[in-house]
A and B are shown apart, each in its own frame.
Chain A
């Protein structure tokens, strides 16, 4: 069944390429083919994830490979749902490479199915880690939308004003969603830590960087809602903040060992 995983990467890659060429050349047929490929890739990815969950006898989110796969899956489903609602190509133009790149990262992680270690056997497992995958996916797509906005701005408003506003607004809404989910991640993690280790908060590197990410996006939202920052400034913010998300997701596991070291 691992062939499905690699097939998903290949199909996501094909979708990303078709979409990029389709958007660049303004060929609707290519974009349609990209959408179909992306949906196929997502279906393969879903089957693989379901199979892995059944084979492992648990939610497949217990290590870095599974989390990255879940992250890519969340990005893909978010992209597809947003496209179904908004019918805007740029949503897929951003979510396709996110899904492809994150899944490619997963391919470099140890793939073997391991028994869930005792510390992870908890009712909080699904909520804590499931929320994290969707939160990271929302931030990653928002960062992609920020980059898309900046590229369009550099081209001199290749898209209409309303599309630019829509891109900016969608990035903001995704950050709202990601922030809410990251809050759930942090709070459920605190409750879980108290159940497992008797402490709500240990300043473990993963906890600390999740908090840093949370504060960073809190600043984004505050400046957006109170100081009415919009457009280019917020786009840059969304792009830069993604690096913090990526460090929390992957960098901490590799560079700063701690209580969450089983996530490697």
Chain B
């Protein structure tokens, strides 16, 4: 039992170290922060990644083993004690004497406290919270289950991050699909609200779910959860082939060369959210991509006849290079989705063990089993746990009446 306490103290020590020492950084950062010798010690003891260190897993495994043994050893004792409490109360000798009339007052107090009364061999047996016997066992069991099911939930979950352009559909490995119908950064009132309107369909296309997802509101569908994780802004260009009249819209996320013949075309370099015109008339591009794209500027190279000409272009402008026209359009914002697939049985089990843990703690602390045997001459309190509160109440009740 004390071994369990030692393990808990070690978990505290590891957790404190893991929160006070910055985690998962480059070795040089530890040298810069803590000095060479301390950094060496941190790295040697794996204190730079405590929660992934082998000793932490060993500690957790030992804790699980300890809880398992505690639960197994506790159960027979608990069951036996629960069965024997009433039997023992029938045969127990009073441990405290009662004076004339005090027995009735004690019985009155116990009835007021909702004790159940039974007659046994000419004495009154008051019992309460007998199910509370299992509180301690269930607490240990639920703690063990939280660790085990929680670990299973983390290990079995499959997580992928994807960017999907509005209007596009992402097909997952099992055939299920996610369509991003729309994405917004602000709501109708202008408040920041990163939200994607999604439609998710099962592999056979027979079942579907639609939802606007945002932080705290993922889409749940057949074991999948789709989260609004990040967002980005991409350029957009309408490409028109002047020879055959064909047109196509392309999204520009990273640098690329758009060409028909491999020689002439437009080389997209970057999209900037805006620009500032200085006093001398020169233009400085805003490179920060965290804000709105209020005045977007395309940085492209016009490649023609072996010549590359840098061009800063605005949405609406058209560059004609050879037989192709490139019409730059307003940028498009797109969501970064996190798609998590989880076993629904494990998920349900995890919620169940969370509830079990709260219920078990309530049983453990607030439904303490107790039996009180009362005769005309005295009484005895039988309880497997501390009953200071009841003893004080009985003592106070008897003293007050005197």
A positions within 8 Å CB-CB of B = 115, 118-119, 121-122, 162, 165-166, 168-169, 172-173, 176-177, 179-180, 183-184, 187, 190-192, 195-198, 200-201, 203, 205, 208-209, 211-212, 215-216, 218-219, 221-228, 230, 252, 256
Contact = CB atoms under 8 A, between A and B. Distances in A.
A208 B366 contact: no
Nearest to A163: B392
B371 to A, nearest CB: 18
Contacts of B192: 118
B354 interface: yes
B128 interface: no
Contacts of B225: 198
Interface residues of B, number: 49
Interface stretch (B16-24, B105-113, B311-319): B16-24
11 contacts: A166-B392, A179-B365, A183-B361, A190-B354, A196-B215, A198-B159, A203-B23, A203-B51, A215-B11, A219-B9, A222-B1
Contact of B389 (A173, A201, A215): A173
A187 B395 contact: no
Contacts of A219: 5, 8-9
B211 to A, nearest CB: 13
Given A203-B18, A219-B8, A118 B214 contact: yes
Interface string B197-222: 00000000000000000111110000
B263 to A, nearest CB: 46
Contacts of A119: 215-216
B389 A180 contact: no
Given A183-B357, A212-B16, A218-B8, A200 B150 contact: yes
B9 A165 contact: no
A187 B193 contact: no
Nearest to A224: B386
B69 interface: no
B79 to A, nearest CB: 18
B15 A211 contact: yes
Contact of B19 (A165, A173, A190, A256): A256
Interface in B231-252: none
A205 B366 CA distance: 31
Contacts of B216: 118-119, 121-122, 192, 195-196
Nearest to B217: A195
B396 interface: yes
A176 B389 CA distance: 13
Contacts of A203: 15, 18-19, 23, 51
Nearest to B150: A200
A260 B19 CA distance: 13
B218 to A, nearest CB: 7
A205 B386 contact: no
Contacts of B16: 208, 212
Contacts of B218: 195, 198
What 10 A-B pairs are tightest by C-beta distance, nearest first? A176-B365, A208-B19, A169-B388, A122-B216, A205-B19, A187-B354, A118-B215, A180-B361, A196-B216, A208-B15
